[in-house]
């Protein structure tokens, strides 16, 4: 049993949205192929859907709502009633000024932590996801740099202790017993010092956010 024009009208949306499959789709297309009216209908609605999809959203001009309210509620226009100074005055109150300063400071800290250069800021930089990702990356970089620093110190320390040992063996081969017990003590001391310095450097770098890293 073939489909009639009413069937086509009923199932048109499903067909256009790709929800019609198999035998139903075949029936649909079979009828449309033989019916001029339905061919026109399908083309019209398909064109409409495509056209609606291409439409840009309308952005209302700023103040439209206020103007409509003014004109429909019968409230007389207050234009010119207030000077521009009166409009700006609330912005100059100490509370607003402190608030602005706080916001600015926060932004500076966040930008620094995120490694964003405020002079070359782009919209993408400001998306929260990008921001979080960047801060995370910066933290890892800082940590990596810190641990590299400690490792470098270890190498330097290793070399210097070897040199010390060599010097000690050469200059004082007569009394190795006296030097030996003292050595591990100072060695540990020095190592601890270096490690502590390294850690505090990492902490300091983390706090400062270390700007200037290539992004």
Residues that bind other proteins (CB under 8 A): 9-14, 16-17, 41, 43-55, 57
B/e letters for 98-133, b = 16+ CB within 10 Å, e = fewer, are: eeeeeeeeeeeeebbbbbbeeeeeeeebeeeeebee
Q: How far is the CB of 23 from other proteins (least distance, A)?
A: 19
Closer to other proteins by CB, 10 or 213: give it: 10
Closer to other proteins by CB, 44 or 165: give it: 44
Rounded (10°) angle between helices 5-16 and 22-34? 120
Q: How far is the CB of 7 from other proteins (least distance, A)?
A: 12
Closer to other proteins by CB, 40 or 132: give it: 40
Q: Supply the DSSP string of 27-88, one letter for each residue.
A: HHHHHHHH-HHHHHHHHHHHHHHHHHHHPPPPPPPTTHHHHHHHHHH-PPP-TTTS-HHHHH
Q: How far is the CB of 120 from other proteins (least distance, A)?
A: 34
The three-state secondary structure class of 174 is coil
Q: How far is the CB of 56 from other proteins (least distance, A)?
A: 10
**How many Cα atoms occupy the beta-carbon half-sphere of 37 within 13 Å?**
6
Closer to other proteins by CB, 44 or 213: give it: 44
Closer to other proteins by CB, 52 or 129: give it: 52
Q: How far is the CB of 36 from other proteins (least distance, A)?
A: 15
Closer to other proteins by CB, 51 or 61: give it: 51
Distance in angstroms (rounded) separating the CA atoms of residues 96 and 141:
37
Q: Is 94 left (phi over 0), alpha (psi -120 to 50) or beta?
A: alpha
Q: How far is the CB of 117 from other proteins (least distance, A)?
A: 36
């Amino acid at each position: 049993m073939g489909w009639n024009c009413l069937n086509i009208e009923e199932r048109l949306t499903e067909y256009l949205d790709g929800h019609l499959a198999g035998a139903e789709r075949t029936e649909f297309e079979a009828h449309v192929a033989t019916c001029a009216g339905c061919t026109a209908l399908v083309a019209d609605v398909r064109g409409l859907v495509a056209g609606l999809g291409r439409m840009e959203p309308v952005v209302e001009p700023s103040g439209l709502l206020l103007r409509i309210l003014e004109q429909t509620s019968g409230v007389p226009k207050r234009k010119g009633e207030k000077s521009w100074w009166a409009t700006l005055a609330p912005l100059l109150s100490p509370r607003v000024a402190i608030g602005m300063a706080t916001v600015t400071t926060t932004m500076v800290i966040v930008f620094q932590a995120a490694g964003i250069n405020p002079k070359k800021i782009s919209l993408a930089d400001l998306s929260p996801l990008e921001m979080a990702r960047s801060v995370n990356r910066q933290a890892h970089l800082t940590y990596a740099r810190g641990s590299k620093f400690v490792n470098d110190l270890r190498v330097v320390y290793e070399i210097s202790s070897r040199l010390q040992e060599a010097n000690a063996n050469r200059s004082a081969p007569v009394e190795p017993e006296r030097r030996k017990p003292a050595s591990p003590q100072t060695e540990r001391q020095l190592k601890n010092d270096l490690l502590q310095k390294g850690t505090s450097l990492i902490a300091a770098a983390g706090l400062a956010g270390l700007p200037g890293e290539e992004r």
